[in-house]
């Protein structure tokens, strides 16, 4: 009771009557509950109420008012009210669209219809199918629900799950094949087509996709070559300007002015002027988020002569390397599907062209992203590279800056060469014995 007196923070004349009143409360667990309420110990209060089944309504109010749902699950576990608590909490979770968690608790409360409803709303095809089959849901209801799930999944672009739902629902073969195709599940699409009238449609889809990739290989190969050549030009120009600074023909201020005019697209040339090689101050700029965003925008511009043209070129080439990885993953499915649909010549052409493109990308990578860096390889304007604390600091001999920021575009992309995507049956020469 001393704790009650301390918790009330009242004058003795006020809390003594309260203590006397609490001492009269029976039974003991209810008295302890009342004490916990005064102390603000809501979990303790629920713990004591849980031992009084006749006080369930009061416990229910406490759980709701103080959001004690998680605590209630622990406290009431193993009691006759456990299912009631699960049902209560499941309703709260359902109202918050926490469908799968709600389904778990509805299951504990033996509310099968609500479990199925939540699983339908969660769009989890496998869980719904497993539950529906385990509880012998009528076939018409089963198919109808899966068709609804499939329609929603298609609308949200979740094509793999949509295809599963439609297949379980025994939907028309063409619609299932289309969903698998849009998901990039080409083997499943081709196999599914064998079961009905979707064969021609799948053949057309795989042919279109294969031809599309071939066209992209041609375009991206040309772009990588063009970008790589331009990158070498930009790096050579940067190397020349570093030599001019080293020889005292340009200064930090000259560099800033030249880059600014170049970025604006001006053809105006700046008069070089001799000055000291280090310790040159330039107009200070505040390193703000806004400035960083401006730089990031400049890195997206491939305009010749831009401040961050080399960064933009590196990012553009890296995007093509990412496309290679994504396409390799797709070819694991697409090439077998082409074979299944008897498009052997197209499959062979796609495999050989992609293989050639990958080998070319691998050979170019060390030149685009060298492992040994020189100042010419650092992207961005020279005045930014050699500026520390708003002071242009050029090292003796024209070496690397004292501090180098490792920008994302400087990291060489990796290629998923370990993935087995090529088909032996499409190879001109084989090592099979």
Question: Considering the domain boundaries, does residue 268 fall inside one?
Answer: no
Query: Which of the listed residues 79, 106, 140 is the one where a domain comes to its end?
Result: 79
Mean predicted lDDT score pLDDT of the chain: 87
Question: Considering the domain boundaries, does residue 365 fall inside one?
Answer: yes
Strand partners, 388: 391
Question: Considering the domain boundaries, does residue 13 fall inside one?
Answer: yes
The pLDDT of residue 15 is: 55
- 360-364: long-range contacts at Cβ-Cβ below 8 A with a sequence spacing of 24 or more? 360/221, 360/224, 361/224, 361/320, 361/321, 361/324, 361/415, 362/415, 362/417, 364/224, 364/228
Q: How far apart are CA 83 and CA 221, in angstroms?
A: 63
User: Could you tell me which of 308, 282, 304 has the C-alpha nearest to residue 295?
Assistant: 308
Question: Considering the domain boundaries, does residue 146 fall inside one?
Answer: no
The pLDDT of residue 32 is: 87
Taking a C-beta distance cutoff of 8 angstroms, is the pair 110, 82 a contact?
no
Query: Which of the listed residues 58, 79, 100 is the one where a domain comes to its end?
Result: 79
With cut-offs at 50, 70 and 90, classify the pLDDT of residue 214.
Answer: very high
**H or E element at residue 72:** helix 69-76
With cut-offs at 50, 70 and 90, classify the pLDDT of residue 39.
Answer: confident
The pLDDT of residue 25 is: 57
Do 205 and 57 lie in one domain? The reply is no
Please give the average per-residue pLDDT across 377-402, as a whole number: 86
Question: Considering the domain boundaries, does residue 205 fall inside one?
Answer: yes
Q: How far apart are CA 208 and CA 276, in angstroms?
A: 63
Query: Which of the listed residues 19, 47, 79 is the one where a domain comes to its end?
Result: 79
Question: Maximum CA pair distance of the chain?
Answer: 102
Question: What are the pLDDT digits (tens) for 123-157?
Answer: 999 999 999 999 999 999 999 999 999 999 999 99
Task: Name the least confident of 30-39, 319-328, 404-413.
Answer: 30-39
How many separate domains does the chain show?
2
Q: How far apart are CA 335 and CA 3, in angstroms?
A: 75
Question: Considering the domain boundaries, does residue 350 fall inside one?
Answer: yes
Burial (CB count within 10 angstroms: exposed 0-12, middle 13-18, buried 19+), residue 17: exposed
Q: Residue 213: pLDDT above 90?
A: yes
The pLDDT of residue 268 is: 32
Portion of the chain with pLDDT greater than 90, in percent = 69
Question: Considering the domain boundaries, does residue 260 fall inside one?
Answer: no
Do 211 and 74 lie in one domain? The reply is no
Q: What are 375's two structure tokens?
A: 């100042």
The pLDDT of residue 198 is: 59
Side-by-side strand order, sheet with 278-281: 278-281, 391-393, 387-388
With cut-offs at 50, 70 and 90, classify the pLDDT of residue 29.
Answer: confident
Please give the average per-residue pLDDT across 364-376, as a whole number: 95
Question: Considering the domain boundaries, does residue 338 fall inside one?
Answer: yes
Please give the average per-residue pLDDT across 179-207, as a whole number: 89
Please give the average per-residue pLDDT across 410-416, as a whole number: 95
| Angle, alpha carbons 198-199-200 (nearest 5°) | 100
Question: What are the pLDDT digits (tens) for 4-26?
Answer: 445 455 555 555 555 556 565 56
Higher pLDDT, 153 or 3: 153
What DSSP string describes 105-146?
A: HHHHTT-HHHHHHHHHHHT-HHHHHHHHHHTT--HHHHHHHH
* Residue ranges making up the domain that contains 418: 201-249+290-426
The pLDDT of residue 33 is: 87
Please give the average per-residue pLDDT across 33-46, as a whole number: 89
Q: Residue 266: pLDDT above 50?
A: no
């Amino acid at each position: 009771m001393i704790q009650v007196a301390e918790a009330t923070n009242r004058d003795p004349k006020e809390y003594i009557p309260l203590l006397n009143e609490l001492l009269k409360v029976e039974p003991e667990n209810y008295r302890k509950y009342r004490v916990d309420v005064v102390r603000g110990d809501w979990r303790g209060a629920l713990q004591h109420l849980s031992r009084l089944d006749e006080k369930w309504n009061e416990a229910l109010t406490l759980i709701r008012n103080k959001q004690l749902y998680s605590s209630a699950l622990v406290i009431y576990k193993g009691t006759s009210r456990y299912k009631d608590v699960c049902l209560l909490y499941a309703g709260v979770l359902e109202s918050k669209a926490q469908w799968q968690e709600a389904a778990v608790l509805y299951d504990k409360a033996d509310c099968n219809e609500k479990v199925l409803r939540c699983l339908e709303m969660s769009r989890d095809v496998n869980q719904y199918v497993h539950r529906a089959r385990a509880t012998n849901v009528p076939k018409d209801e089963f198919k109808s629900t899966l068709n609804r799930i499939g329609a929603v999944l298609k609308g949200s672009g979740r094509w793999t799950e949509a295809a599963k739902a439609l297949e379980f629902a025994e939907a028309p073969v063409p619609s299932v094949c289309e969903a698998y195709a849009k998901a990039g599940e080409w083997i499943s699409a081709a196999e599914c087509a064998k079961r009905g009238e979707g064969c021609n449609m799948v053949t057309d889809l795989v042919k279109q996709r294969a031809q599309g990739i071939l066209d992209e290989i041609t375009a991206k190969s040309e772009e990588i070559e063009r970008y790589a050549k331009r990158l070498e030009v930009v790096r050579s120009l940067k190397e020349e300007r570093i030599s001019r600074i080293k020889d005292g023909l340009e200064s930090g201020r000259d560099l800033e002015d030249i880059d600014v005019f170049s970025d604006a697209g001006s053809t105006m040339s700046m008069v070089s002027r001799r000055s000291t090689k280090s310790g040159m101050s330039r107009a200070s700029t505040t390193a703000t988020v806004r400035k960083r965003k401006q730089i990031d925008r400049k890195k997206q511009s491939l305009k010749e002569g831009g401040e961050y043209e080399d960064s933009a070129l590196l990012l553009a080439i890296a995007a093509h390397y990412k496309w290679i990885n994504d396409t390799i993953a797709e070819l694991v499915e697409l090439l077998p599907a082409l074979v299944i649909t008897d498009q052997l010549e197209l499959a062979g052409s796609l495999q050989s062209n992609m293989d050639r493109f990958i080998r070319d990308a691998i050979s170019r990578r060390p030149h685009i992203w060298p492992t040994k860096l020189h100042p010419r390889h650092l992207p961005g304007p020279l005045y930014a590279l050699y500026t520390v604390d708003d002071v242009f600091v050029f090292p003796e001999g024209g070496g690397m800056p004292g501090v180098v920021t490792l920008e994302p575009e400087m990291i060489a992309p990796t290629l998923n060469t370990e993935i087995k995507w090529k088909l032996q049956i499409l190879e001109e020469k084989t090592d099979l014995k």
